[in-house]
Amino acid sequence: MNAALGTAGVALALSAAVLGMVTLAVGLRRGDPRLLSAGQRYVWLILGGAVLSVVAMEAAFIGHDFALKYVADNGSRETPMLYTISGMWSALEGSILLWSLILAGYLAVMVRHFRARAGDHLVAWATLTGFAVAAFFFGLMAGPANPFKVISGIVPADGQGPNPLLQNHPLVAFHPPILYLGFVGFTIPFAFAIAALVTGRVGEGWLVETRRWTLFAWGFLTVGIVLGAWWSYEVLGWGGYWAWDPVENASFLPWLTGTAYIHSVMVQERRGMLRVWNLSLLVSTFALTILGTFLTRSGVLDSVHAFSESNIGPALLGFFALVVGVSIGLIGWRGDRLRSPGAIDSPLSREGAFLANNVAFGAFAFVVLLGTVFPLIAEAINGDRLSVGAPYFDTMTAPVGFTLLFLMAVAPALPWRKASGELLHRRLLWPAWAATGVVVVCVAAGLRGLAPLAAFALGAFAAAAAIRQLVLSARAARRQGSPAWRGLLGRANGGMVVHIGVVVIAVAFAASHSYGQRHEFRLDPGQTAHLGGHSITYLGTTTVQHANKKTLSARVRVDGGQVYEPALQQFPFASQAIGSPSVRVGILDDVYLTLVAAPEGNTAAAVVGINVQPLIAWLWIGGGLMGFGTFLAAWPGRRRRPTQPSSAPAVASGEPSVTPVADEAPVAVGPHA
């Protein structure tokens, strides 16, 4: 029953996507607005199909319908409800299902948002592109990644449950959907970019239309990545939060290009320049979400030798190639309209800083991509098997990270067009003194090491520059008779809040990287170990038999206060016990406890791993600040909405079409405006 409903849902969504594409294509060809409108309404069938399949899948999980292979593999009668529900996205096929649901949701919101302009060819082409992406993902589920496969033969009485690591922390229920809201969200600006290229309306209109969609996706991607790091810290038990693992890199890559895009797009909105570059960044961001899914889901990188083991790989790789090929082709075809007349006067200007930012983010993305796929490249060249791990990424990305911190400090102080020395002096002197002051205080407090001190200095510099900007903006709001908090709203100010979040993360990263201490202690019951100014007393062990697992926890008292219980958990279908850490979270430092080796008896010694790392909690706080800042940046504020259609109609002469962009400053839109 569930299998039939789910399969029907996939079939419904797939055929609706294809029919919608055909209807839109015919409508575009005939220029018939009624057909365009009808074609866009297919989105509701796509959404209906997606919801039907997800409901069927969840019903199968909750009702323990082990006739479904996916449920038998990832659910069990003993799994708690939260992990039963999250079981849907704990393996490949269900992840594609979640992806498709979110995509259908985004497309439905998009169609509804633009319903008054359903006859506009730009919107129609964007919808068509969105439907094509949806058709691909529902096609995956109809073919190689079918989540509704039925077990042939006897239906098992119980399932295996999710991977043990995916059922011992509640973050597993939130991190994947939020991350996917980010990944999938880039489909909308991508669809509009393709539509702008196809219709030739490559002016700034489509950028303005998709600005909030991009921010929305970017914000969720950011929060999703931070939650992933948090999950990894709380669950994996090695005390770190970022291992440069291919899966992490795959989520980080679109973030890097997406971040470059939301900066450089401001140059285009303001000056009408960098059109090809912005289109390329946006297309890369979308393509990298597909490539990331390919790299991590096809098994190419998990084990370098299992290229042919998975059958979803070729489809994803083919789709990636299609996206890249079509985009490059369209950009080449529209090359004449994409040329922009403007010029950047001076490298010492806001737009110059954005260019430098783009070079840095581009380099960052290149290093991460190269390091991630290099094992494949090397093996292809001469059969060498080699690893590229954290030391490589740390070495190569550190200089880029420092550059970005520096740019974050200087760029907000730079005016558009050209800066004078006097102006820089006035705007940067106090932030720079703040940086110097922080270094002096840190050194006086006994902190040593060039890299962390440099990170703190640049962090303080950037934070002071951002705070200066916010204070000025709040004062300006007061002068206009609004409450000061209005000064936090809008893109520039919300962006500064995001910058502060980045600084908080950078400082926490540098501190935990440089000043962390770890040691393993063999402790008898009652014995106390000391590390990093903390005392850790081992009290004894407790064994608890849960429905889905057996937990052996060590009771450990930290600093004579609360007792923490790092544990080893034995799941029935897992060969090895899974360590689950316990963390004393603090504002200044975290004490991270793991049970490395269980004692032979209750009076014997246990090996307890202790990891004291400063400022870890600030990584998550910084992530929250970044999300909050994105929210502020997307806030409508007092910006006027453009009342004109997004882009001027295509002009036959091949002249680039230019529409004035509604912005807070109507001056200096660009020499051509």
Partner 1 sequence: MPDARTGAARPARSHLWAWALMALVLVGALAIGRGDPGPPSDAQRAHDIATEIRCPTCRGLSAADSDAPSSQAIRDEILRRVQAGQTDGEIRAYLVSRYTVDILLNPERHGVAVLVWALPIVAGIAALGALILAFRRWRASPGVAVSAGDQALVDEALRR
Rg (CA), the chain: 27
Q: At its nearest, how many Å lie between partner 1 and the CB of residue 619?
A: 17
Q: At its nearest, how many Å lie between partner 1 and the CB of residue 642?
A: 22
Q: Are 569 and 575 in contact (CB under 8 A)?
A: no
Task: Please give the Cα distance from 180 to 316 (Å, whole number).
Answer: 16
Which one among 9, 39, 182, 237 touches partner 1, defined by CB under 8 A? 237
- Binders in 183-202 for partner 1, by CB under 8 A: none
Any contact of residue 300 with partner 1 (CB under 8 A)? Answer: no
Task: Please give the Cα distance from 281 to 572 (Å, whole number).
Answer: 47
Q: At its nearest, how many Å lie between partner 1 and the CB of residue 219?
A: 27
Separation of CA 617 from chain center: 20
Which one among 159, 164, 371, 599 touches partner 1, defined by CB under 8 A? 371
- Binders in 516-545 for partner 1, by CB under 8 A: 520
| Phi, psi for 540 (deg, rounded to 5) | 150, -175
Q: Which is nearer to partner 1, 214 or 372 (CB)?
A: 372
Residue 25 CB partners (closer than 8 Å, separation 6+):
128
Mark 607-636 with x for binding to partner 1 (rule: CB under 8 A) and - for no binding. --x---------------------------
Any contact of residue 345 with partner 1 (CB under 8 A)? Answer: yes
Q: At its nearest, how many Å lie between partner 1 and the CB of residue 651?
A: 21
* Burial class, 587, CB count within 10 angstroms (exposed 0-12 / middle 13-18 / buried 19+): exposed
Which one among 81, 152, 157, 385 touches partner 1, defined by CB under 8 A? 385
Any contact of residue 374 with partner 1 (CB under 8 A)? Answer: yes
Q: At its nearest, how many Å lie between partner 1 and the CB of residue 95?
A: 19
Task: Please give the Cα distance from 432 to 510 (Å, whole number).
Answer: 20
Size of interface with partner 1, in residues (CB under 8 A): 74
Which residue matches tokens 């608890």? 544
- Binders in 643-672 for partner 1, by CB under 8 A: 667, 671-672
DSSP state of 656: P
Q: Is 601 helix (H, G, I), strand (E, B) or coil?
A: coil
Any contact of residue 391 with partner 1 (CB under 8 A)? Answer: yes
Residue 275 CB partners (closer than 8 Å, separation 6+):
202, 268, 338, 339, 340
- Binders in 426-445 for partner 1, by CB under 8 A: 426, 429, 432-433, 435-436, 439-440, 442-443
Q: At its nearest, how many Å lie between partner 1 and the CB of residue 583?
A: 16
Q: Which is nearer to partner 1, 108 or 267 (CB)?
A: 267
What is the crossing angle of helices 275-297 and 171-185, to 10°?
140
- Binders in 445-464 for partner 1, by CB under 8 A: 447-450, 453-454, 457
Q: Is 591 helix (H, G, I), strand (E, B) or coil?
A: strand
State the first-to-last Cα distance of the chain, in angstroms, to the nearest integer.
Answer: 61
Which one among 152, 153, 154, 387 touches partner 1, defined by CB under 8 A? 387
Task: Please give the Cα distance from 534 to 323 (Å, whole number).
Answer: 54
Please give the full DSSP string across 210-224, using - where no structure is assigned.
Answer: HHHHHHHHHHHHHHH
Q: At its nearest, how many Å lie between partner 1 and the CB of residue 395?
A: 8
- Binders in 591-610 for partner 1, by CB under 8 A: 594, 596, 609
Which one among 152, 382, 562, 643 touches partner 1, defined by CB under 8 A? 382
Any contact of residue 574 with partner 1 (CB under 8 A)? Answer: no
DSSP state of 483: -
Q: Which segments of 329-460 are extended strands (E)?
A: none
Q: Is 283 helix (H, G, I), strand (E, B) or coil?
A: helix
Residue 522 CB partners (closer than 8 Å, separation 6+):
605, 606, 607
Which one among 55, 359, 529, 531 touches partner 1, defined by CB under 8 A? 359
Q: At its nearest, how many Å lie between partner 1 and the CB of residue 672?
A: 8
Any contact of residue 406 with partner 1 (CB under 8 A)? Answer: no
Q: Which stretch binds partner 1 (CB under 8 A): 87-95, 414-422, 559-567, 626-634?
A: 414-422
Q: At its nearest, how many Å lie between partner 1 and the CB of residue 663?
A: 15
Q: Which is nearer to partner 1, 392 or 635 (CB)?
A: 392
- Binders in 238-267 for partner 1, by CB under 8 A: 238-240, 243-246
Q: Which is nearer to partner 1, 30 or 530 (CB)?
A: 530
Task: Please give the Cα distance from 225 to 221 (Å, whole number).
Answer: 6
Which residues are registered as beta bridge partners of 534? Answer: 531
**Residues 270, 273, 276, 279, Cα dihedral to 10°:** 0
Q: At its nearest, how many Å lie between partner 1 and the CB of residue 499?
A: 21
Please give the full DSSP string across 593-646, using - where no structure is assigned.
Answer: EEEEE--SSTTS-EEEEEEEEETTHHHHHHHHHHHHHHHHHHS-TTPPPP-S-S
Q: Which is nearer to partner 1, 98 or 225 (CB)?
A: 225
Q: At its nearest, how many Å lie between partner 1 and the CB of residue 165?
A: 12
* Secondary structure in 3-state letters for 57-97: HHHHHHCCCCCEHHHHHHCCCCCCHHHHHHHHHCCHHHHHH
Q: Which is nearer to partner 1, 66 or 244 (CB)?
A: 244
Q: Is 590 helix (H, G, I), strand (E, B) or coil?
A: strand
- Binders in 99-158 for partner 1, by CB under 8 A: none
Q: Which stretch binds partner 1 (CB under 8 A): 77-85, 163-171, 374-382, 647-655?
A: 374-382
Q: Which is nearer to partner 1, 216 or 230 (CB)?
A: 230
Q: Which is nearer to partner 1, 78 or 245 (CB)?
A: 245
Q: At its nearest, how many Å lie between partner 1 and the CB of residue 234?
A: 16
Task: Please give the Cα distance from 474 to 297 (Å, whole number).
Answer: 47
Task: Please give the Cα distance from 177 to 183 (Å, whole number).
Answer: 10
Any contact of residue 366 with partner 1 (CB under 8 A)? Answer: yes
Which one among 347, 636, 649, 654 touches partner 1, defined by CB under 8 A? 347
The DSSP element (H or E) to which 538 belongs, if any, is strand 534-545
Residue from 314, 321, 307, 326 nearest 143 by CA: 314
Mark 466-505 with x for binding to partner 1 (rule: CB under 8 A) and - for no binding. ----------------------------------------
Q: At its nearest, how many Å lie between partner 1 and the CB of residue 490?
A: 17
Question: What token pair was written down for 469?
Answer: 């900007």
Q: Which stretch binds partner 1 (CB under 8 A): 285-293, 341-349, 548-556, 622-630?
A: 341-349
Neighbours of 225 (CB within 10 A): 22
Q: At its nearest, how many Å lie between partner 1 and the CB of residue 248?
A: 9
Q: At its nearest, how many Å lie between partner 1 and the CB of residue 649?
A: 25
Q: At its nearest, how many Å lie between partner 1 and the CB of residue 263?
A: 15
Q: Which is nearer to partner 1, 215 or 279 (CB)?
A: 279
Q: At its nearest, how many Å lie between partner 1 and the CB of residue 318?
A: 26
Which residues are registered as beta bridge partners of 528? Answer: 537
Q: Which is nearer to partner 1, 20 or 670 (CB)?
A: 670
CA distances from 159 to 1, 74, 569 (A): 18, 7, 19
Any contact of residue 575 with partner 1 (CB under 8 A)? Answer: no
What letters, b where the CB count within 10 A reaches 16 and e where it falls short, cover 462-475?
bbbbbbbbbeebbe
